[in-house]
Structure 1
Amino acid sequence: MDKLTTGQMIDQLKIGEVAEDENGWCVAFDEERVLRFYSSRDEIDGKGTKYWISNEDTNAKWRIIPKFVSFEKAIRAFKEGKLIKSWTDNDYEIHYGEYLLNNLTEETITFNEILNAKWTIED
């Protein structure tokens, strides 16, 4: 997963998603699209401190934490024409479009990997 600058993170972050920097500090938009700051993912509740960009943020690197769903929910979204991804433990992502899902073999993904993978739905 690519590391993002503060500006890139703000441009790409969606409501409902969380971004985390290299030190574990997190930000998330509240329902009014105000960016809120949290000291960890465990504290995210929509009531964090309003995030103000400072000189210290110039060199910060962020990653947007994927919003994971169950395999069943991912397949429903796939049937609606959406792109889905599975994620490995080291955040390696595999994109599944129509061709790959219609041509699954033991070499592409195992049944155990399907059930235990972390899945995301792309907008």
Structure 2
Amino acid sequence: MGEVLTTGQMIDQLKVGEVAKNNDDMKVYKSEDGSIRGDVMGRKILCDLDFLESKWRIQPNYVSFEDAMKALKDGKSVIFRGPDGSWSDKVPPNVAASIAIKHTELRGYGLLDLFKGKWTIEE
């Protein structure tokens, strides 16, 4: 996942649309207007002591296999998360998308695993 952040660090680092989760499994996201909101109703968060003293992790923004391969073609690196929860090394952008599945860390996975897997794009 990501590094452990204080509430202030999380607010500073969270990008619009990203989700952060605290040590009590509370999830928040940054809305288009820059406010921090929680739950599916998009309610503003009450900044009580529990909220302010929480530790946070910004959750990965998973994309589809197709989007990951498109990102490779566009010169970005991608990371694959296997079913066992382990991360691959970055698949570098200089690897052609058609060759990316031959990347050393991806050899142990079948095509269905890769297609249905969890991919992230490195910015």
Partners of 2:49 and 2:11 in 1: CA distance: 16
Partner of 1:98: 93
Alignment of 1:1-123 (within 5 A): 1=1, 2-38=3-39, 43=40, 45=41, 47-48=42-43, 50-89=44-83, 91-94=85-88, 95-98=90-93, 105=102, 107-110=104-107, 111-112=109-110, 113-123=113-123
Partners of 1:109 and 1:23 in 2: CA distance: 33
Matched residues, number: 116
Unaligned 5+ runs, structure 1? none
Q: Percent identity?
A: 34
Partners of 2:6 and 2:60 in 1: CA distance: 17
Whether the 8 Å CA contact 2:63–2:118 is kept in 1: the answer is yes
CA distance change for structure 1 residues 86 and 104 in 2, over 3 Å: closer, same or farther?
A: closer
Structure 1 moving runs of 4+ over 4 Å? 99-107
Q: Which has the higher strand share?
A: 1
Taking only aligned residues, the RMSD between alpha carbons, in angstroms, comes to 2.6
TM (normalized to structure 2)?
0.74
Whether the 8 Å CA contact 2:68–2:121 is kept in 1: the answer is yes
How big is the shift at 1:51?
2.5
Unaligned 5+ runs, structure 2? none
The 10-residue stretch of structure 1 (79-88 or 105-114) with the greater mean CA deviation from structure 2: 105-114
TM (normalized to structure 1)?
0.74
